[in-house]
Every structure is written in C-alpha cells, then in structure tokens.
Structure 1
Amino acid sequence: MRVVVGLGNPGGQYAQTRHNMGWLVVDEVARRCGAAWRKEKDAEVTEVRLGPAPGQKVLLVKPLTFMNASGKAVAPLVSFYKIQGTELLVVQDDLDSPFGLLKFRMGGRHGGQNGVRDIIRLLGHDAFPRLKVGISRPPPGWEVSDWVMSRWRPEEAQTLAELMRLGADAVEVWAASGLAEAQLKFNGTDLRPPPPPPTPEATPSPKPVSPEGEERQ
C-alpha cells in the first residue's frame, strides 16, 4: 500500500483557499475513482487503486487537525499501515513556486510549509516525497498568513481546474510507476500563460535634410 496525504484545513470556509491545494488534488483523485471518504481518527481517508489493472492500492488522506498539526493525523496512519518513507507522498501548496507550476521533490526541509514541518517533526525524518503545487508569493502589501488563507480569484479558476487535473494525474503516475517516472513527466509543468512577445522598437524617422545638404536641428 501507498499513502497520499493532501494538506489543507477542514471546514467549508477554507475549502477554496490557497492553503487547501493538497485537499483539492486528492479530492480530484477520489472523485475519478468514485471513492467515498470516511473518518478515521484525525483524518478523512479512502482507499483507491491507481494505475493499470489491478492497480496500486493507495490510501488517500485529508488531515482534520488543521494545517499546523498535520503530523498528528499522518504519523499514526503511517505507523499502523507500516508505511516506509518512499511510500508516503505529501501533496502541498508551495509559496515559492508560481501559480500554475507543479513539481515533485524527494525529501528535504519543510520550506516554511507548516503542515510538512509537523509531519517531519512527528515522523522523525524528512525522507518522503512531496508534490509541490505553486500558489505564488503574496503580492505587495499582503501578509503570507493572509495570502495562503485567501480564496482563488475568478481569473484563476480555469488554471486551477487544470492544475487540479494535472496534480491528480501526477499522483496516479507516482503511485503506479514511482517517483522518478513522475518527476520525468511532471516536473517543470507550467500552466502560466506565455509572456507577450516583445514590442518591436520603433525605427526613428530620418531627420529632414535642407536643400544645402545639412540636417535641420
């Protein structure tokens, strides 16, 4: 069995906020599989099979402990199911990646993501892969705490739907084929619109020349 944890906060008021990107991705995986969530200790969980038949058995997890205490939900499940570090994937929002970018990373520090921080603390190691989904740094004048709890803007809706779809695809590839294949296929995925082409510089008009052949000033 493998375990995929989508980080987020419980409650309808948080459902469409940037900090719940992990929940959005695992919800999309569960929706595709027609899976129903059930409560188990401090999390909602559901079992699915991903990849070619018969498929890899995967436990999807949404912690109900709020972001800063995610480890309280994850650590007991990892222990109960005897999950090794490489069999655990954490799907997280990532401030340091632009909105529209996703990438896999194996291990490493939490990078300021408090859910990952708490999972590392309670597992006692950081040797598990993450799927990092970009939400961008806050615009000028925004505090980080306000930005991650803010709702998606209407103009982001189309990109968000595509990002959720690709995130779910990435989870499926990781579960069926492993981290290296998932990194090869999805690292560098960038849904940001391309920048507009540079405006060609106007060619300066030649200066008029007097009948005597001298330029007029």
Structure 2
Amino acid sequence: MDYNGVLVGLGNPGSRYEGTRHNCGFALVDALVDMAQRQGSAESLNGNKFSCELWRIRLNQLDGLWLAAKPQTYMNLSGQSVQPLLAWHKLRPSDLVVAHDELDIAAGELRFKLGGGNAGHNGLKSITELLGTPDFYRLRIGIGRPPHKGDVTNWVLGRPQGEDAERTQQSMSAALDTLFAFADKGLDSALRVARKTAQPRKKNTPEDAPSATSDKN
C-alpha cells in the first residue's frame, strides 16, 4: 500500500510521562487520530514489529493515506522504531515528519523545517543516526525554557500549567494546520502557517536563541 507520508510524534511511553512537555509529539498524533476518526478514518495497525503504536490515516486535508506513529522505545531510542517503519513501508526520509518538543521556541509557537542539527534532542539524534541522514522534516513544538536555569530535566518532564497549558493546547490545532499545509502545498506553505504562531518579542531579543545542548531523554 502506498502512503503519502508518515507523521511520527516523539515522546516516552507510560502514564508517568503522559501530558508532559516532552510528550507533545505524542499529543499531536493523538489529535490527528481523533480528527481522522471524526472526519475521515483512522485504522489502528499492529506496530509491534516497529515498536510503536501505529495508525493508517485518511483525511481530505492530507490528500491521501498517511501513517501516524508513536514510538514505544523511549525518546532516546526513537530511531529504532522509525528506521524499520520507513524501511518496511518503502518510505524515504523525505516522506517523514517528526513532531517534537523544542526548548528554544516559546510555548505555543511552532516552526517547521527540513534537516538541520538536533539541538541536544536525543530523539532526533537517534533518528538521524539510524536513518543515516538528517534530511527529514521536523515540526517543532515550542515548550520554552524553564524560568530557572539548570532545571531542564524537570521542566521537559513536567506538565504545563495555567497560561502555559492553554498555549500548548492551542498549538496542537496550529500544528495540524501546519501538517495539512505541508501535505497540500509543501514546505513553503508549512513554513508560513507555522510562522503565524509567533508571539511579539521584546526589543533586542532574538526570535530564536542559540540552541543549547540539554540532557533530554
């Protein structure tokens, strides 16, 4: 069966991590599956051989069939799920969209890009190593940095509260719109949709601070 693409949301399995900032990739896959169940079709597939939860998605907004997956390998081994999934279905890295949390983007904001570095994200690092290339698409979901330096681990594994939670929830809808724009018209269209989530910046504050390596798992 031919697929137009595959969305892989990154996260850690288990109730301990459910709803954490680090699992916003999982949350996006859940949102896509929910929409497909209501407006198209979402067929649950056996993803055991790929160590993932897996769905076949059909939606008008995606212009054909897509796969959606949540690796169950834990974040830092995501490539062990993604590589065999793509190989089995004869999909290329350029057919892959990875949704993941991003410390260097404010909560509620999105970015979309092809390739690039991993910025200390061990899930992206694992996928890049196992695929042998960084040239896959990344849907970067902002979670912002912790208010106190050096508290990165607790921050990414914590659950957003208050306004932070509202922005994170709103970003799911915008992330779906970004994915649909990519499926319909490609990279430039997805870039434009993602940029609409940008929030006003204080003067002399760069839009994206230089990436810093973190201990994300």
TM-score scaled by length of structure 2: 0.82
1:112 counterpart = 2:120: yes
1:19 corresponds in structure 2 to: 22
Candidates 47, 51, 61, aligned match of 1:40: 47
Q: Which has the larger radius of gyration?
A: 1
**RMSD, matched Cα:** 1.9
CA distance in 1, matches of 2:102, 2:172: 14
- Counterparts of 2:149 and 2:140 in 1: how far apart (Å)? 25
Cα distance, 1:154 vs. partner?
2.9
Identify the residue that residue 10 of structure 1 maps to in structure 2. 13
Cα distance change, pair 45–97 in 1 and its aligned pair in 2 (3 A): same
Contact 2:45 2:56 in 1 (8 A): no
Q: Among residues 85, 103, 113, which one is paired with 1:77 in the alignment?
A: 85
What secondary structure does 2:55 align onto? strand
How far, CA to CA, are the matches of 2:178 and 2:191 in structure 1?
9
Task: Give the AA of the match of 1:134.
Answer: G
Query: 2:178 maps to which residue?
Result: 170
Distance 1:158 1:193 in 2: 17
Matches within 5 A, 1:135-154: 135-154=143-162
TM norm structure 1: 0.82
How far has the Cα of 1:122 moved from its partner?
Answer: 0.4
Quote the offset at 1:158 in angstroms.
2.1
Q: Which runs of 5+ in 2 are unaligned?
A: 203-217
Q: Which residue of 2 aligns with 1:185?
A: 193
Q: Is contact 1:56-1:175 (8 Å) kept?
A: no
Q: What amino acid sits opposite 1:125 in the alignment?
A: T
Does residue 50 in structure 1 map to residue 59 in structure 2?
Answer: yes
Q: Structure 2: how far apart are the matches of 1:181 and 1:15? A: 31
Greater mean deviation of Cα atoms: 132-141 or 122-131: 132-141
The answer to whether the 8 A contact 1:26-1:168 is kept is no
Tell me the distance in 2 between the aligned counterparts of 1:89 and 1:49.
16
Say if 1:175 and 1:133 are closer, same or farther in 2 by CA, change over 3 A.
Answer: same
Stretch deviating more after TM superposition (155-164 or 57-66): 155-164
- Residue segments in structure 1 that go unaligned for 5+ positions in a row: 196-217
Worse overlay, 172-181 or 65-74: 172-181
The equivalent residue for 2:208 is none
Deviations 1:17-50 (A, max 9, x none): 0000111111101100112544412000101123
8 Å CA contact 2:61, 2:183 repeated in 1: no
Residue aligned with 2:139, SS: strand
What residue number does 1:61 align with? 69
